[in-house]
Amino acid sequence: MINLEVPKKFGVLIGQAHQIANEVMRPNSRKYDRAEHTYPKELDMLAAVVNGMNDSGGLSGAGAGGVTRGSVSENGSLPGRHGTRNSSNLASVLSVAEVSWGDVGLLLTMPGQGLGNSAIAALANEEQLERFGGKWAAMAITEPEAGSDSAAIRTSATLDGDDYVLNGEKIFVTSGERAELIVVWASLDRDRGRAAIRSFVVERDNPGLKLDRLEHKLGIRASDTANFVLSDCRVPKENLLGSPEIQATQGFAGVMQTFDSTRPLVAAMALGIARACLEETRERLREAGVEIDYDTPASVQSAAAAEFIGMEADYEAARLLTLQAAWMADNAMPNSLQASMAKAKAGRTGTDIALRCVALCGTDGYGEGELLEKWARDAKILDIFEGTQQIQLLVVARQLLSKTSAELK
Partner 1 sequence: MFREQQKLTNRSMAIGLRALNRFAGSPLVDRLGLRAPAERFVYGASKTTMRTAATAGRTFAAAQKLATPARQPTAQPGGLFDLTPTDEQRLLSESVRDFALHKLRPAALDADFACAAPAELLRQSDDLGVTMIGVPEELGGAVTERSAVTAVLIGEALAQGDMGLAVACLAPAAVSTALSLWGDEEQQATYLPDFVGDSIPAAALAVLEPRALFDPFKLETRAHRSGGGYVLSGVKSLVPRAVDGELFIVAAALEGRDPALFIVESRAGGITVEPEPAMGIRAAATGRLTFDDVELPVTSLIADADPEIYRACIQLGRIAWSALAVGTGKAVLDYVIPYVKERTAFGEPIANRQAVAFAVSNIAIELDGLRLATYRAASRADQDESFAREAALAHTLASEHGMSIGSDGVQLLGGHGYVKEHPVERWYRDLRAARLMEGVLLV
2 binds partner 1, rule: CB under 8 A? yes
Q: Minimum distance between the CB of residue 403 and partner 1, rounded to whole angstroms?
A: 7
335 binds partner 1, rule: CB under 8 A? no
**Can you tell me whether residue 165 is helix, strand or coil?**
strand
Distance between CA atoms of residues 350 and 293, nearest Å? 23
72 binds partner 1, rule: CB under 8 A? no
Which stretches does DSSP call E strand in 188-239?
197-203, 209-214, 225-236
Cβ nearer to partner 1, comparing 147 with 236: 147
314 binds partner 1, rule: CB under 8 A? yes
Distance between CA atoms of residues 217 and 261, nearest Å? 26
7 binds partner 1, rule: CB under 8 A? yes
Q: How far is CA 279 from CA 13, 272, 284, 296, in A?
A: 21, 11, 9, 20
Which stretches does DSSP call E strand in 112-196?
137-140, 156-160, 163-174, 181-187
- Binding mask 267-306 vs partner 1 (x if CB under 8 A, - otherwise)? ---------------------------xxxxxxx------
What size, in residues, is the chain?
409
Mode of pairing for the β-strands spanning 137-140 and 181-187: parallel
Mode of pairing for the β-strands spanning 209-214 and 225-236: antiparallel
> Is 203 one of the catalytic residues?
no
| CB-count burial class (<10 Å; 0-12, 13-18, 19+) for 323 | buried
Q: Minimum distance between the CB of residue 213 and partner 1, rounded to whole angstroms?
A: 34
351 binds partner 1, rule: CB under 8 A? no
Q: Which of 19, 60, 80, 158 binds partner 1 (CB under 8 A)?
A: 80
User: Which residue in 74, 307, 386, 407 is the catalytic one?
Assistant: 386
Q: Minimum distance between the CB of residue 354 and partner 1, rounded to whole angstroms?
A: 18
393 binds partner 1, rule: CB under 8 A? yes
Name which of residues 211 to 230 contact partner 1 (CB under 8 A).
none
Long-range contacts of 403-406 (CB under 8 A, 24+ apart): none
Site residues (vs partner 1, CB under 8 A): 1-9, 80, 83-86, 90, 294-300, 309-310, 312-314, 316-318, 320-321, 323-324, 327, 338, 341, 344-345, 390, 392-394, 396-398, 400-403, 407-409
Active-site annotation, residues: 386
